[in-house]
Chains A and B, each alone.
Chain A
Amino acid sequence: MNDELTTDPSKPSQRMRAGSLHLTLTPWVVAAFLLIVLPFVFTNNSAITIMNQMWITVIFALAYNMLLGQGGMLSFGHAVYAGVGGFACMHIMNMSDFFASFPLPVLPLFGGLFGMGLAMIVGSFSTRSAGTVFAMISLGVGELIAACSVIIVAFFGGEEGISGDRTYAMPFFGNEFLQPIDVYYLTSFWVLLSAALMYLWSRTPVGRMANAVRDNPERAEFLGYSSRWVRFYSFVASGFFAGVAGGLFGINYEILTEENLNTASSGVILLVTFLGGVGFFFGPIIGAIVFTLLQTVLSLQTELWAFYVGALFLATVMFFPGGLAGVLMMHVPAIKMGKAGGLVVPYIKTLLPALIGILGLSALVEMTFHYRHAATGDNEMTLFWTTFDSHAILPWVIAGVITAVGLGIARVTAPALKEAWSEANSAGGKL
């Protein structure tokens, strides 16, 4: 095995090249295939709208991770670049004469250019340092531009925002983008293109140096690179792709408001990116998919969805700082050694009771919410396909017992899982 790993110094570049091409192309082909096929699996319009939102969030989260994960810059105001890109696109939509001769699929490019333009202005002073100073400037600029939405009404449209109609664009090969499915393929095209470009960016000299500056700005300076300019280029590129996401948002929803700019939106994208994992390129993609699903599907089930997302985020930060991608990648060594099979049974033994316990806990949370907030006299609630009286004792006892037993079993079986884990991750041994 070692013979394969050590390189032949005489011709290392060729080996590298062959290897890396083979490795990098496969996921993209799979992604393209999935993007094309998914609407045939999930055919109804609401599913397609959810996927549109998902891909937009994917682009935005990947753009955000160019700063957070790859550049080591924590931004609290990144929504403004997506927002300004989106507003610019809405204005293009509303220039009826110009827009009538404008193919809609090109519009996100303009969103990107406006996001990039703003990022160049802000980045010229905010990227002088990373760390707290950068974070505070990003927060300040974010607040400033969000506040502008009620001051510069001509651009931001005040409280109503700016709305438009994408179907006034020049038909694109006869397509007027009337249906969500048309927009779906437009969005899919952009998500694949943007993700590929952002991935390639991370393999360029400036992308590699972004990592170097993140890890050790001083050493990078003594290698001939100005850490400030390296950060600036990352920031501008991130602003571009955020603007693309904003433009796609405009095309999808045909309206942008102050909400697209504010600190809450900036916070959401930070949460999405971190949840998915900042350490791996595909982390934010997972984060965006999981978050959008929670936001759309879970919010239909419970008003408290944000509470659960918050709990999940907190658990991720505390126990898995590598995010969901980090959890997945943790298993790679075991899989490579062919020992991952030994984890299946211990996982079921611990995670299944834990899941049941957590569901019991969430039942208690829901019942408390219902008990406190339902209209007086409305004592009936439905939870997990069961209707019961939230003011009676029995449901509380049942939920409490399920919680205690589920978490209790998980606690008892956890040491065995831990043992199986270290067994699966140590070289040699049995199996």
Chain B
Amino acid sequence: MSTPALELSGLKKSFGKAEIIRGIDLSIGKAERHAIIGPNGAGKSTLFNLITARFPPTSGTVKLHGEDLTGLQPFQINRRGLSRSFQITNIFPAMTVFENVRCALLWAQGYKYSFWNLVSKSRSLTEGADAILEQINLLERRELPAGMLSYAEQRALEIGITIAGGADVIMLDEPTAGMSHSETDYITDLIMKVTAGKTLIMVEHDMGVVFGLADQISVLVYGEIIATGKPADVRADPKVQEAYLGAALEAEH
């Protein structure tokens, strides 16, 4: 069996006495689309933050392509091919849309801390950023400050920034939160398009999005994964229905 893209073992996190993540073992294969669902407060975002080293775990390990990420900082993890978006839109609001994407390309294109290259002279940066803008349909908004975009456009931009660096593991934290139906459909298609061939891990509340996108689903309840499997199996799992899914599914149909 090939090495999984992401492997969590015995991952735990406590804030003071409160144990938020209570021992998670999870293996996500390459090019898999994995959704993490669960009721509010289950620890989904915390799990994301542990994987990406926004917080250090209390115990347990995260492995990316078999490499232990313990002790690495977010920027080091990003350089190893893991990129994420945030639950609350996290972009550079004062910069133009184009600049946002270009900044996301700099490290990936090997510019590092260069002070001997001019960004505007680099054809690969300009064309690369424009290609991303075209993918996320924001080419017409290119010169606007990112903070002036509509909410859905900002979410699309954040997805663009997240995928721009060419990471092969993409983590999206509630990409459709707070969106209308048409916006949700648009973002779902966008995610489908830009993550083709990549490993996708996402937290999502909208069951339509989850069952539309994911080939594997994990259900997180009170800091533990109570079920992992194909959408149909998870949907049928009585434990899941009892804990969480039933209400949500009824609302859906």
| A and B found bound together | yes
Q: How far is the CA of A20 from the CA of B143 in the complex (A)?
A: 14
Q: Complex: how many Å from CA A64 to CA B79? A: 31
Quote the shortest CB–CB distance from A252 to chain B (angstroms): 29
Q: Is B181 an interface residue (CB 8 A)?
A: no
Dominant SS among interface residues on chain A: helix
B251: CB under 8 A from chain A? no
B168 at the interface (CB under 8 A from A): no
Contact yes or no, A237 B113, CB < 8 A: no
**Which residues of chain A are near B201, meaning CB under 8 Å?**
none
Decide yes or no whether A229 CB sits under 8 A from chain B. yes
Contact B140 A6 (CB under 8 A): yes
Max chain A C-beta neighbours (<10 A), residue from B74, B90, B107, B127: B74
Nearest-CB distance from B218 to chain A (Å)? 22
Residues of chain A within 8 A (CB-CB) of B140 are 6
Report Cα–Cα, A201/B119, bound state, in Å.
Answer: 10
B84 touches A222 (CB 8 A): yes
A378 within 8 A of B: no
Q: Mark A4-19, 1 if CB is under 8 A from B, else 0.
A: 0111010011001100
Do B92 and A215 touch across chains, with their CB atoms under 8 A apart? yes
B15 / chain A contacts, CB cutoff of 8 Å:
none
Question: Pick the contact of A209 from B94, B106, B161 — CB < 8 Å?
Answer: B106
Q: A204-B119, A208-B102 are in contact. Are A233 and B113 (CB under 8 A)?
A: yes
Known: A7-B139, A212-B95. A13 touches B161 (CB 8 A): no
Per-residue B-contact encoding for A390-429, CB less than 8 Å = 1, 0 else: 0000000000000000000000000000000000000000
Q: Is the CB of B90 within 8 A of A219?
A: yes
Residues of A within 8 A of B84 (CB): 222
Contacting B at CB under 8 A, from A190-226, are: 200-201, 203-209, 211-212, 215-216, 218-226
Residues from chain B with a CB closer than 8 A to the CB of A220 are 75, 103
Residues of B within 8 Å of A218, CB to CB, are 54, 74, 90
Check: A230 CB closer than 8 A to any chain B CB: yes
Report the minimal beta-carbon distance from A212 to chain B, rounded to whole angstroms: 5
B161 and A223 form a contact (CB under 8 A): yes
The CA-CA distance from A211 to B102 in the complex, in Å, is: 13
What string of 1s and 0s marks CB contacts (under 8 Å) between B126-143 and chain A? 110010001000011011
Partner of A9, one of B73, B103, B139: B139
Using A12-B126, A204-B116, A204-B119 as known contacts, say yes or no to A224 and B107 having CB atoms under 8 A apart: yes
A204 near B118 with CB under 8 A, answer yes
Q: How many residues of B contact A (CB 8 A)?
A: 44
A229 proximity list for chain B (CB < 8 A)? 113
Given A7-B130, A209-B103, A215-B95, check contact A204 B117 (CB 8 Å).
Answer: yes
Q: A170: shortest Cβ distance to chain B, in Å?
A: 31
Chain A interface size range: 35 or more
A200 to B121, CA, bound (A): 12
**Chain A CB within 8 A of B246 CB:** no
A220 to chain B, nearest CB (A): 7
Q: Are A204 and B103 in contact (CB under 8 A)?
A: no
Q: Which residue of B lies closest to A207 (CB)?
A: B115
Per-residue interface assignment for chain B, residues 40 to 84, with 1 indicating a CB less than 8 Å from any chain A CB and 0 otherwise: 000000000000101000000000000000000111001100011
Whether B116 pairs with A208 at a CB distance below 8 angstroms is no
> A-facing mask of B144-167, CB < 8 A → 1, else 0?
000000000000000001000100
A221 and B75 form a contact (CB under 8 A):
yes
- Which residue of chain A has its CB nearest to the CB of B77? A222
CA distance A225 to B109 in the complex (A): 13
Is the C-beta of B17 less than 8 angstroms from some C-beta in chain A? no
A223 to B113, CA, bound (A): 13
Does residue B91 face the partner (Cβ distance < 8 Å to A)? yes
The answer to whether B120 and A16 touch across the interface, beta carbons within 8 angstroms, is: yes
Residue of B nearest to A200 (CB): B118
Task: Please give me the 6 A-B residue pairs with the lowest Cβ-Cβ distance, nearest first.
Answer: A224-B107, A205-B111, A13-B126, A221-B74, A224-B78, A13-B123
Taking A12-B126, A227-B75 as given, write out 12 further A-B residue pairs in contact, using a Cβ cutoff of 8 Å, ordered by the A residue number. A5-B143, A6-B139, A12-B127, A206-B114, A208-B103, A218-B90, A220-B103, A221-B74, A223-B78, A223-B106, A224-B75, A225-B106
Q: Provide a sorted-by-A list of 25 A–B residue pairs whose CB atoms are within 8 angstroms.
A: A6-B139, A13-B123, A16-B120, A16-B126, A17-B121, A204-B116, A205-B113, A206-B113, A208-B99, A208-B106, A209-B106, A211-B94, A212-B92, A215-B93, A215-B94, A215-B95, A219-B91, A220-B75, A221-B73, A221-B74, A222-B74, A223-B107, A223-B165, A225-B75, A227-B75
